[in-house]
């Protein structure tokens, strides 16, 4: 099996994209967590 050799620019671009995707996913997880806490917290207060 032959692997593709990436240039330094391609490696840097891929790394930046991976970091951005990771941050977006972490942000979504945090958002859903906060929304869930607010929903359940509001329901328990009454």
The model's pTM: 0.68
What local confidence, expressed as pLDDT, does residue 24 receive?
A: 99
Domain boundaries, the chain: 21-46
Could you identify the residue written with the tokens 């977006």? 24
Q: What angle do CA 29, 41, 31 make, to 5 degrees?
A: 15
What local confidence, expressed as pLDDT, does residue 29 receive?
A: 98
Mean pLDDT in runs of 10 for the chain (46 residues)?
A: 91 97 98 93 63
Burial 19-46 (b: 16+ CB within 10 A, else e): eeeeeeeeeeeeeeeeeeeeeeeeeeee
Gap between the Cα atoms of 22 and 30, Å rounded: 12
């Amino acid at each position: 099996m032959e692997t593709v050799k990436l240039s330094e620019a391609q490696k840097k671009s891929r790394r930046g994209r991976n970091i951005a995707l990771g941050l977006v996913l972490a942000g979504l997880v945090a958002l859903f967590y906060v929304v869930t806490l607010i929903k359940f917290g509001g329901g328990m207060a009454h």
